[in-house]
Chains A and B, each alone.
Chain A
Amino acid sequence: GESVGLHLPTLSVQEGDNSIINCAYSNSASDYFIWYKQESGKGPQFIIDIRSNMDKRQGQRVTVLLNKTVKHLSLQIAATQPGDSAVYFCAEISMDSSYKLIFGSGTRLLVRP
């Protein structure tokens, strides 16, 4: 709900611009990374994923980039729309953690009309 957005870093973009949301992950042994989107009043929804043997993956209007050297993940949203306003979470998973997802604390994206 709305309380999710409190205390979160916020990215404000103009409608139509591209958005880049960043995430630093913690475990160099993580095999797999996921981006989730959480709209107000809803649970997180899967957006896109990437395996550790890749450095880029594209979806519809979204691209995920992985830089294992600096343990950094980014989500790029092209031509941002009002419906993209939400909190975005990255998550990592590794075999040595019994496939448990570890979530980042999230970034709030606000799209200005």
Chain B
Amino acid sequence: DSGVTQTPKHLITATGQRVTLRCSPRSGDLSVYWYQQSLDQGLQFLIQYYNGEERAKGNILERFSAQQFPDLHSELNLSSLELGDSALYFCASSEGGGAGGYTFGSGTRLTVV
């Protein structure tokens, strides 16, 4: 157990639908990061939050949004889902800027049918 909790582990949904992925960071970590990993690809950075505020944005689609709540858990919202959004979505956390590396959750496997 890495200390980063992601729910749900698996999600199957239809095109056009909206889903919410949830992440609880490791205790003490203020930064949360979201990554997307498509089949057998590297991890693409989506967005970072630090202590409730958006810190950095990557190639995140406009259909996707995220937030970090006062208790530091984060949610990634994916709407108007397309087949190409099927992927493994990782949440990671770090104390600050991640100089020591990030701790990753086990991911949410999203399948859009």
Q: Do A and B bind each other?
A: no
Q: Interface of A with B (CB < 8 Å)?
A: none
